[in-house]
Each structure stands twice: as structure tokens, then as C-alpha cells.
Amino acid sequence: MEIGFIGLGAMGEPMARNLLRAGHTLKVYNRTRSRAEALAGSGVTLVNTPAAACTAGVVATMMADDRAMEEVVFGEDGVLQGLPSGGVHVSHSTISTDLSRRLAEAHRRKGQSFVAAPVFGRPDAAQAARLVVVAAGPSEAVERCRPVLEAIGRKLFVIGPEAPAAHTFKLAGNFLIVSMLETLGEAFALLRKSGVDPASFLEILNGSLFQSPLYENYGKMVVEQRYEPPGFKLRLGLKDVRLVLAAAEEAAAPMPLASLIHDNLLSGVAQGMGEYDWSAVARVAAQKAGLKG
């Protein structure tokens, strides 16, 4: 099928390539045109506005934050303007639940559908089409887009008809991941200061208690103090924790650990770690313990 794709960053670009491999044709838009030009070739049409990417009736967006999403949707020559009645906007971005509700309502008023389909996975998983996709929205719209959603990932979960639920799901999932990074950092700082090898600790723990690729992969990064190149930047992790706290306040669900992690991520940004991988929150824990790295 022909679809539009807006947002060709570290995640969006490999997702778009996988759609091409699956036989779809794309109209692509990116604010930095050179990123779009890298996709030029069979099955790709470059367009100059978000609206022009929407003419086929289905458009996917992968934006960095709420502000970027608002610009491409509500701005001049934006998605709302270009998507025809009956069209579907699929959002893969991690955005606030408030914006998700506003998008769903804005599209409904225009006779369009909004499907939230955030993804779990880093750029390497995006390249390998191994993302986990969590989708929510009107059932007919979700089923219309199922071939697109299945082309970018290894698993697709449809959790209901209300789009904001998928974004709440994604924020809660990211909170669990960053909480793991915080506890890894604190535990490894304790081990290092006590003369215990963190690598052996990780091998034993992941081989007996957790057996999780997240613990294994992130644990190795922290053990090796390898925070570049980033799979997911620390400053974006800070953004996500801000969104978690906003959702928690709206739901009257206290999340004291999220508040602590927010401050540690903010400390990392203040110390120049914003462009590092978000696992560098472990470096903040190490520094607080008087350790280097």
C-alpha cells in the first residue's frame, strides 16, 4: 500500500526502510531534507510538506517530542490539513497522553482516525524489524494499518480502541526501563566501591534471577561505561520521565521513584551527558559515590 512517513531520525529512517522492503510505497517528509534524500529511490517520493505526505490516506509519524508532533500535525500544511476524510494517522512517537487525546479528538472532528502505535526497541531493533509495537485506536483503522504495523516489528499488540492508552502503556514501559538503569547504576557503584567485580555480578544475576536481554545489554554498557554512540539519548529519557510524571499527576498516582530518576537525569544533562545513551544515568550514580565514569 502507499503511505506517508514523516520523521526520519534514528528510529524513523530504518522503520521506513523496512516498509519499503515489505513492498509498500512511501511519500516521505523530514524537516532536514537530506535525511529524506538518503531514501530516494524505488518506491519513495520526496515531498516538501507534511500535508503532501498524507494524500494516500495513511500517514505514519515518528517525531522526537510533543512540540515536533504539534508542528507537523497542527502547523501550516500539516497532517490535519493534508489527510483526507477517512484517512488514518499512525503515531509511533512517544508523546504525552494529553497530546494523544488532543490528536484523537482533532482527527475525529476532521472525519479522520488516529491510531497510537508507539514502539519498544532501539535503532538496531528498528533496523532488524524487531520492534515491539503497541497499538490502540478505532478497530477498523487499526486493521487497515495492520500490514504497516507488522512490517516494522516482531510483535504487534492491540490493546483497545482509545489511542491514549497506548501512549500511557509506552510511558509506563519506559519508566520500568529507566528504573532498571537507575538501580543498575546504584548497585554497580556499591560493588565497585566494595571491591566486587560488576561484570561477574551481572553474569551471575542475569543467568539466574532475571534472564533478560535488557539487563544483559544495558548491564554490559554500564559495566564497560560505554555510553556512546547512544541508542536513546539521555535528554530524551528525561523528556519521557517528565511525561510519566505528568501522566501520574493527572491520574493521581504518586511515582516517587520517577521523581528521583527525573532529578538524576537532569543532573546528567547539567553535566553534559544529554547526548549520551540514557544508561549514562548510571554514571551519575557512580559520580555521586565518588567514582569516575
Q: How sure is the predictor about 40, in pLDDT bands with cuts at 50, 70 and 90?
A: confident
Answer whether residue 166 shows pLDDT above 90.
yes
Residue among 83, 120, 115, 79 at smallest CA distance from 100:
115
**How large is the average pLDDT for residues 98-123?**
97
Residue among 253, 248, 257, 121 at smallest CA distance from 176:
257
Answer whether residue 99 shows pLDDT above 80.
yes
Answer whether residue 113 shows pLDDT above 80.
yes
Answer whether residue 41 shows pLDDT above 80.
no
Half-sphere exposure of 123 (CA within 13 A, CB side): 13
Residue among 110, 113, 112 at smallest CA distance from 163:
113
The H-or-E segment that residue 154 falls in is strand 153-158
Cα torsion 271, 276, 279, 285 to 10°: value is: -20
Active site residues: 170
pLDDT of amino acid 263: 98
Percent over 90 (pLDDT), the chain: 92
Pick the more confident residue, 171 or 209: 171
Q: Using one digit for the tens of pLDDT, what is the confidence trace for 117-156?
A: 999 999 999 999 999 999 999 999 999 999 999 999 999 9
Pick the more confident residue, 230 or 43: 230
pLDDT of amino acid 44: 93
**How large is the average pLDDT for residues 259-268?**
98
- Tell me how far CA of residue 148 lies from CA of 24, 25, 42, 44, 90, in angstroms: 8, 11, 18, 15, 10
pLDDT of amino acid 39: 87
Domain 167-288, CATH class in plain words: mainly alpha
Percent helix, percent strand, percent coil in the chain, to nearest 5: 55, 15, 30
User: Domain map of the chain by residue range?
Assistant: 2-161, 167-288
Pairing between β-strand 131-135 and β-strand 153-158 as defined by DSSP bridges: parallel
| Alpha-carbon 56 to chain mean position | 25
**How large is the average pLDDT for residues 157-185?**
98
C-alpha cell at 211: 534472564
What integer best gives the mean pLDDT of the chain? 96
Answer whether residue 23 shows pLDDT above 90.
yes
Residue among 146, 152, 150 at smallest CA distance from 129:
152
Domain 2-161, CATH class in plain words: alpha beta
**Any idea which residue has 489511542 for its cell?**
163
Q: Using one digit for the tens of pLDDT, what is the confidence trace for 48-76?
A: 999 999 998 999 999 999 999 999 999 99
pLDDT of amino acid 43: 80
Fold agreement (2-161, 167-288) = no
What's the CA gap between 166 and 161, in Å, rounded? 10
C-alpha cell at 106: 482533532
